[in-house]
């Protein structure tokens, strides 16, 4: 029985169960999905992926790739100012000490965050 | 992105068909792709996820968009199909932007003659990536694909912090129940599960997690959650939410043991985590 759109009641063995959004993605069915700030991160990745494939498709085989880490770090960089984040910078000596380029990528591909 | 690339129009010539929740955030993505020079057509990858005002704004901007909130499954497929040939002069797409793999599957299976003209595809979500990996293994992936989901700035943010905001938001808007003190079971403790469990805990719910992966189970336990099996514990739950990306998570065995007025929902991509087919057949 529909209580209101995307909220349905079923009665099983005399007990009621309330199903939201017919079992589909509840946050998009019953609310408005994720907030814009976090989706901006996702969609910046989408845009970079489209750019990369459009411009450099010759470099790719018919395989599944992830975006290189420097682009991942760029997506994060683009979002820092909005929430007032300040970044420290590595000195040359520090960069050498941990064996990464001074301006990134700062982690190996195996790093899991 | 627009500031950095807007002048050069690096996507000039690209005809991108997109299939992704037609929300206001997606509208901004569409505008960005267009500002970078692409021609764009759009459908939504879920029958309920379209925000009609967002779709209307995109339509008003002259972009072919086939999406509205609350369509049926036939309309859903029809919408996706329309986007394939929606470009100027009736030309077909030459890029795919997908969320969940429904557009990809339609192009690969129903319009294989178009594949040669398509440069590549980008995929938004875990479920779609699983489908692509399967194609890669069995040799049916016919173009390069970029897995956007596994960018750290996607899955560790959208899946996690996104759900942390939107899981409780959805349950509140749908039911207006008091969360504090309720017992919630979160099925799965991947990125979506972690965000969802944190969302419910933040609202004061007492959260139980179910897992099949020992590493994620240990993470959940050490994050302070009770980690239990679903069926023997489902009678305790006021809220049950699935986050797994797998299917048949909440089935008849669990439904029969639920308490009266239990709320059941899913925040994974597809609608088969909860066995709606059984529920509708037996009690619909």
Q: ipTM of the assembly?
A: 0.95
Closest chain B residue to A74, measured at CA: B153
* The pLDDT of residue B6: 87
- Please answer yes or no on whether A24 and B259 come within 8 Å at the CB atom: no
> Distance (Å) from the C-alpha of residue B232 to the closest C-alpha of chain A?
17
**Residue A22's pLDDT band (boundaries 50, 70, 90)?**
very high
**Residues A19, A10 contacting (CB under 8 angstroms):** yes
Distance CA B284, CA B278 (A): 9
Q: For every one of its 284 residues, what pLDDT tens digit does chain B have, with 9 covering 90 and above? A: 899 898 999 999 999 999 999 999 999 999 999 999 999 999 999 999 999 999 999 999 999 999 999 999 999 999 999 999 999 999 999 999 999 999 999 999 999 999 999 999 999 999 999 999 999 999 999 999 999 999 999 999 999 999 999 999 999 999 999 999 999 999 999 999 999 999 999 999 999 999 999 999 999 999 999 999 999 999 999 999 999 999 999 999 999 999 999 999 999 999 999 999 999 999 99
Distance CA A100, CA A108 (A): 9
- Please answer yes or no on whether A5 and B271 come within 8 Å at the CB atom: no
> Distance (Å) from the C-alpha of residue B177 to the closest C-alpha of chain A?
12
Query: Which DSSP helix (H) or strand (E) runs through A39?
Result: helix A36-56
Cross-chain CB nearest to B132 (options A52, A60, A64): A64
Structure-block tokens of residue A61: 């085989």
Rounded (10°) CA dihedral B8, A47, B145, A105:
90
Residue count of chain A, please give it.
Answer: 113
- Please answer yes or no on whether A61 and B144 come within 8 Å at the CB atom: yes
Q: Which of B146, B163, B184 should one mutate to test binding to chain A, selecting the residue with the greatest count of A CBs within 10 A? A: B146
């Amino acid at each position: 029985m529909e209580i209101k759109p995307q909220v349905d009641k079923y009665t099983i063995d005399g007990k009621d169960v309330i199903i939201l959004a017919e079992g589909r993605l509840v946050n998009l069915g019953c609310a408005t999905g994720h907030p814009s700030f976090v989706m901006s991160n996702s969609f910046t990745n989408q845009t970079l992926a489209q750019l990369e494939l459009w411009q450099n498709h010759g470099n790719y085989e018919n395989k599944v790739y992830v975006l290189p880490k420097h682009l991942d770090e760029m997506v994060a960089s683009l979002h820092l100012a909005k929430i007032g984040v300040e970044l420290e910078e590595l000195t040359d000596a520090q960069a050498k000490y941990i064996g990464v380029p001074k301006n990134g990528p700062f982690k190996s591909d195996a790093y899991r965050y | 992105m627009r500031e950095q690339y807007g002048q050069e129009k690096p996507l000039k010539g690209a005809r991108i068909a997109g299939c992704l929740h037609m929300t206001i955030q997606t509208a901004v993505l569409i505008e960005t792709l267009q500002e970078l020079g692409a021609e764009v057509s759009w459908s939504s990858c879920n029958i309920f996820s379209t925000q009609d005002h967002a779709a209307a704004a995109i339509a008003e901007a002259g972009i072919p968009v086939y999406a509205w909130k609350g369509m049926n499954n036939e309309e859903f497929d029809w919408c996706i199909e329309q986007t394939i040939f929606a470009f100027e002069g009736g030309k077909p797409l030459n890029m795919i932007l997908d969320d969940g793999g429904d557009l990809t599957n339609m192009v690969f299976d129903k319009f294989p003659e178009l594949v040669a003209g398509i440069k590549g595809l980008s995929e938004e979500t875990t479920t779609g990536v699983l489908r692509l990996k399967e194609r890669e293994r069995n040799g049916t992936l016919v173009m390069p694909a970029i897995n956007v989901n596994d960018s750290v700035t996607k899955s560790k943010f959208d899946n996690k912090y996104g759900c942390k905001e939107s899981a409780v938001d959805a349950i509140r808007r749908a039911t207006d129940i008091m969360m504090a003190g309720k017992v919630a079971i979160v099925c799965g403790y991947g990125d979506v599960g972690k965000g969802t469990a944190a969302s419910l805990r933040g609202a004061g719910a007492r959260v139980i997690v179910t897992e099949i992966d020992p590493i994620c189970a240990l993470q959940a336990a050490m994050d302070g959650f009770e980690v239990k099996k679903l069926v023997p514990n489902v009678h305790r739950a006021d809220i049950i939410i699935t986050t797994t990306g797998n299917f048949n998570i909440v089935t008849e065995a669990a439904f029969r043991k639920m308490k009266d007025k239990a709320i059941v929902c899913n925040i994974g991509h597809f609608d088969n985590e909860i066995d709606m087919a059984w529920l509708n057949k037996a009690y619909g």
